């Protein structure tokens, strides 16, 4: 499996490179960065003290010409540029970028007619299992409890709520026959009045080096159920992305998510 990594010098990029190098049947063949990156031309494995022979490059077309897969955990604008290039080269994509607009997601769906893509806001096994548990909890308790989603991430995260928190909200809303955009409440301040039980509340924390914590609360009078996932290392996301590559190699063109990869889709 010939794999290229986008955002190669970032926190996730480095984890992805390490995960690929630690996978026996995977080959790192490209490492992409923006044109102003000071590490351009350096070996992609330098941060590990390894010589991979793969130099960090800003030439997207050249890198993708040799890549079977591109793993992209960058920013929406970068992901869209990489997607356009991948369509030309037939390079399959594994996308963990968050903060995409509805139009950008529509572009992913359109491109998937000609390209196999795994797109998921969180590629950890635990989070994707939690999504199934949330659907079950919403089915059993969602019609009479107050539902709140609390998420925490490091100070450098640029979007809020997190893509994972939004996905959790979408799963719950769909189970309840609602559309998240119609029932989500993003933060509260001032005299807000009594809580509308049919809403789904979101609270966001940005602090320090928190990798990713998510808790969903189903609260009634007298009891509450909390489903929590805590990530302590970005390697869990990187390993999930490599797992998605292995799964994707046998799939036809289309848009998939980690529920598909893990066999959890209903």
- Residues with a catalytic annotation lie at 153, 157
Where in 131-256 does DSSP place strands (E)? 146-153, 184-186, 200-206, 212-220, 223-231, 254-256
Burial of 36 (0-12, 13-18, 19+ CB in 10 A): exposed
Sort strands 184-186 and 223-231 into parallel, antiparallel or unpaired: unpaired
Q: Return phi, psi of residue 71, to 5°.
A: -100, 125
Distance CA 124, CA 195 (A): 33
**Going by DSSP bridges, is the β-strand pair 116-119/2-6 parallel, antiparallel, or unpaired?**
unpaired
Of 71, 87, 77, nearest to 23 by C-alpha is: 71
Encoding tokens for residue 260?
Answer: 């598909």
């Amino acid at each position: 499996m010939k794999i290229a990594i986008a955002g190669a010098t970032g926190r996730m990029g480095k984890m992805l490179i390490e995960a690929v190098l630690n996978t026996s049947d995977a080959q790192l063949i490209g490492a992409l960065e923006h044109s102003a990156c000071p590490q351009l031309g350096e070996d992609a494995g330098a941060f590990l003290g390894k010589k991979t022979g793969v130099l960090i490059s800003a030439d997207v077309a050249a890198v993708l010409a040799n890549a079977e897969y591109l793993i992209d955990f960058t920013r929406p604008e970068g992901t869209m540029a990489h997607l356009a290039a991948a369509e030309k080269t037939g390079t399959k994509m594994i996308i963990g970028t968050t903060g995409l607009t509805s139009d950008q997601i529509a572009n992913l769906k359109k491109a998937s007619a000609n390209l196999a893509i795994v797109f998921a806001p969180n590629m950890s096994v635990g989070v994707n299992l939690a999504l199934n548990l949330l659907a079950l909890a919403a089915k059993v308790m969602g019609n009479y409890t107050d539902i709140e989603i609390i998420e925490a991430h490091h100070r450098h995260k640029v979007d809020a709520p997190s893509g994972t928190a939004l996905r959790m909200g979408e799963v719950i809303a769909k189970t309840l026959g609602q559309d998240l955009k119609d029932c989500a409440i993003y933060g509260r301040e001032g005299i807000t009045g009594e809580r509308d039980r049919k809403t789904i509340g979101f609270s966001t924390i940005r602090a320090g080096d928190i990798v990713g914590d998510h808790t969903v609360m189903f609260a009634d009078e007298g009891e509450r159920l909390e489903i929590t996932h805590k990530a302590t290392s970005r390697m869990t996301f990187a390993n999930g992305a490599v797992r998605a590559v292995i799964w994707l190699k046998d799939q036809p063109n289309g848009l998939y998510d980690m529920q598909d990869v893990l066999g959890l889709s209903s």
